Amino acid sequence: MTMSDDSTATRAPRTRSWLLVSGRASLALVAGAAGAALAAAVAFVPSPAIVVAVPSVAVTPDRSDQSLVCAGGALGLTRGDNPQLAVVAAEQLHTSGAGLVTSTLAASDAIDGSPIVVTLPREAPGDALAATGIVRPDTTEVTGLAAAECLTPARSAWLVGGSTTVGRTTWIVLSNDDAVDAVVDLSLWGDTGPIDAVGSTGIIVAAQSQRILPLAGFALDEPSPVVRVSSTGGSVAATLQTTVVRGLTPSGISIVTPLAEPALRHVIPAFPVINGQLALEQSTTDGGSDGLPALRLLAPGDTSAQVTVRLIGLDGAAGLVTEATVEPGVVLDLAVTNLADGEYSVIVDATEPIVVSARTSTATAEFADLEWFSPSPALEAGTAALVAVAPVNDEQSALLHLVAPDGAAEVSIDGVPVTVAAGGMVVLPTATNAGVRLTTSGRVHVSVSYRGDGVLAGSRVLAPPSAAGALTVLPQ
């Protein structure tokens, strides 16, 4: 023992310090390796995921009274030194639904204008309602046939149609059925771009009243107006009523019903061309061009839209395909020339959200009429819609137009099955002054057209408003 001690005595300090140094170095290495391992674990091992489920309650609001506001009668001016706005022909209505209550708004800008409100009370047995009004004015200023489905008041409406050039009168009709006043802002576009109009904002539509404003007051001599109606406070039902007088001859009336929002696709199921050549000839008597079938397009955004227009005929052929560029904020009236008489429907696809509407005219030797057909909203598969077909004269008839742009749809019309081919259309005669129940197995767009000698009108079938489902509330 002493021997070994002596022999290592000189070397001991050096050996020990070497051991110390190497021990410390390995400590650092071990710590570095452990750190690297931890870092790798943090980087590559997924961390445990425990996420609490956010409590949500799907609240179905209590059923409220559902109301449809109808467009009202045909408008004209009283005779005399101080012409007043008046209803020159009252609308005739077909309402369809159980337990409906019909009332009128308290006030209107037009004499005798008491727009009709069709209400489905919350205690009524059924939950569907539909109503369509039709007017047949025959005065020295206004003749023709116009129909419009009664509308659910909304806060936003796009009205595409009308004109304020010579002989064309367009009224903006705003009806407020709510218990609160509505403040309406109008935005207008024309064929040269957006229109700044004095007094177009802050229009107060008092509760339970109707305002009727001449579009010419905002956009004079505008051949292609588009009006956006947005309201705060109460909601309004907004329509345009446009009439044409060629020379001294009243040549048609149409009620333009609104689109809810710009969209990438619009489907106009009814686009009938009847006596198109005659209508064109008659319309040129005053140099106007509104006898020609046409589409009115507007891309309200900031980007131009590439638009593809497909006309579908009864034979199911893809028909005419037109492409166009719609500059942002500029209304484009796209005339459809050389279109043979017949039933068509229009499918408009765009790269940017647009609004669109279609106009056709008809004429006989004595009469002429025009109609703006707005796109019909889609009825999704499984929807049961109620169609109110307005009453017509004996010599007039009504047709049901169905289009299935995506896939074939099996539609039951009052129990009678009808197949609409994919990308095809079906036109059926239908009973008038009647309610038609319609259920579909696929997405279809449906309109109704009314026609007689030299008169043409159309109304749309809207998706049932109760389709708005429960609201998901996330309470704290």
Partner 1 sequence: MQPRVIAIVVARRGGTPLQQTLDALAQQSRRPDQLVVVDAAGVDAVTAQLAAANPTQFVTAGSGLGFGELVHRALAAVPLPEPTSSPYGGVDEWLWLLRHDTVPDPNALQRLLAAVEVAPSVAVAGAKQLEAEHPTVIAAYGETLTRWGATMAIAERELDQAQHDRTSDVLAVGEAAMLVRRTVYNAVEGFDSALPSVDAALDLCVRIRLAGHRVVGVPQARVFVHEGTASAGRAGGGRPVSPRTRARLMRTAQLHRRLVYSPAVAVPLHWLSLGPIAIARALGHLVRKRPTYAGGEFAAALAVAFSGSAVPAARRRLARGRSLGWSVIAPLRMAPDEVRRRRAIARDAQLAALDDDRPPRPDFLPGGAAVVALAAAVGAIAFAPLLGAPALLGGALAPLAPDLPTLLASLERTSVGAADPFAFVLALLGLLTPWQPSLAIVVLVIAALPLAALGGWWAAAAILRRPGPVAVVALLWAFSPALISALVEGRPAAVVAHLALPVLVASAARAPRSWSATGVAGLSAAVVVASSPSLLPALVVIWVVWMLANPRRLGRLLTLPVPTAALLAPLVYDQLVRGTPFGLLADPGLPSAPAAVTPTGLLLGWPDLSLVLAPIAQLLPDAPTAVVVAVLAALALVPVVLALVGLALPDGRRGIVPLVLVAGGLATAWAVSGVAVSVWGGQAVSIDVGPSLSLAALGVALAAGRGLDAIRVFAPMTRQAASFGPEPRGAGALAAVLGCVAVLAAVATAAPALSAVLLGSSAVRASEARTLPAIVAAEALSDPTIGTIVLTPVNAGLAARVDRGAGLFLVGQRTLEHTSAAGGTISAPSAELADLVGNLAAPSGRDVTTALDELDVRYVLLEDSGEGVAASTAENVTAALDGNPVLTPIGDADAGRLWRVVPDDDSRAEPAARSVSSTIVLAVQGGILALTLLLAIPTSLRPRRRSDQLATDEGPAATFEVGDDDE
Instruction: Please give the residue ranges that form the binding site for partner 1 (CB under 8 A).
Output: 20, 24-25, 27-28, 31-32, 34-35, 38-39, 41-57, 59-65, 122, 154-156, 178-180, 232-235, 468, 470-476
Identify whether the C-beta of residue 300 lies closer than 8 Å to the C-beta of residue 327. no
Nearest to partner 1 of 58, 416 (CB atom): 58
State the nearest-atom distance from the C-beta of 334 to partner 1, in Å: 29
Q: Which strand (E) or helix (H) includes residue 372?
A: strand 368-373
Please identify which residue in the block is written with the tokens 């409406």: 157
- Using left for φ > 0, alpha for ψ between -120 and 50, and beta otherwise, residue 221 falls in left
| Token pair 């669109």: residue | 356
Amino acid code (one letter) for 307: V
Task: Supply the minimum distance, in Å, between the C-beta of residue 230 and partner 1.
Answer: 10
The Cα–Cα gap between 157 and 69 comes to: 14
HSE, CB side, 13 Å, CA atoms: give it for residue 12: 7
> How many C-beta neighbours within 10 Å does residue 69 have?
27
In the complex, least distance from residue 160 CB atom to partner 1, rounded to whole angstroms = 20
For residue 240, the minimal CB distance to partner 1 (Å) is 22
Q: Closer CB to partner 1, residue 156 or residue 289?
A: 156
| C-alpha pair distances (Å), 51 with each of 48, 209, 414, 417 | 10, 52, 51, 50
The least CB distance from residue 30 to partner 1, in Å, is 9
Nearer to partner 1 (CB atom), residue 35 or residue 193: 35
What's the chain's length in residues?
476
Of 28 and 248, nearer to partner 1 (C-beta) is: 28
Torsion of CA 17, 23, 26, 32, to 10 degrees: -100
User: Please, is 135 exposed, middle or buried when counting C-beta atoms within 10 Å of its C-beta (0-12, 13-18, 19+)?
Assistant: buried
Of residues 49 and 416, the one with the C-beta less far from partner 1: 49
Helix, strand or coil, per DSSP, at residue 120: strand
Question: What is the nearest approach in angstroms of partner 1 to the Cβ of residue 101?
Answer: 14
The helix/strand/coil state of 381 is: coil
Task: Decide whether 32 or 417 has the Cβ nearer to partner 1.
Answer: 32
Query: Are 186 and 202 spatial neighbours (Cβ–Cβ below 8 Å)?
Result: no
Please say which residue, 39 or 318, places its beta carbon nearer to partner 1.
Answer: 39
Running DSSP on this structure, what letter comes out for residue 276? H
State the minimum distance, in angstroms, from the CB of residue 350 to partner 1.
19
Place of tokens 């039933």: 343
Minimum Å gap between C-beta 25 and partner 1 is 5
**Token reading at 149:** 């489905």
| Minimum distance of partner 1 from residue 417's CB (angstroms) | 35
How far is 214 from 231, CA to CA, in rounded Å? Answer: 18
Q: Choose between 85 and 236: whose C-beta lies nearer to partner 1.
A: 236
Return the structure tokens found at 417.
């099955």
Q: How far is the CB of 43 from partner 1 (least distance, A)?
A: 4
1 or 179: whose CB is closer to partner 1? 179
Please, which residue, 185 or 196, has the CB nearer to partner 1?
185
Residues 6+ apart with CB under 8 A from 36: none
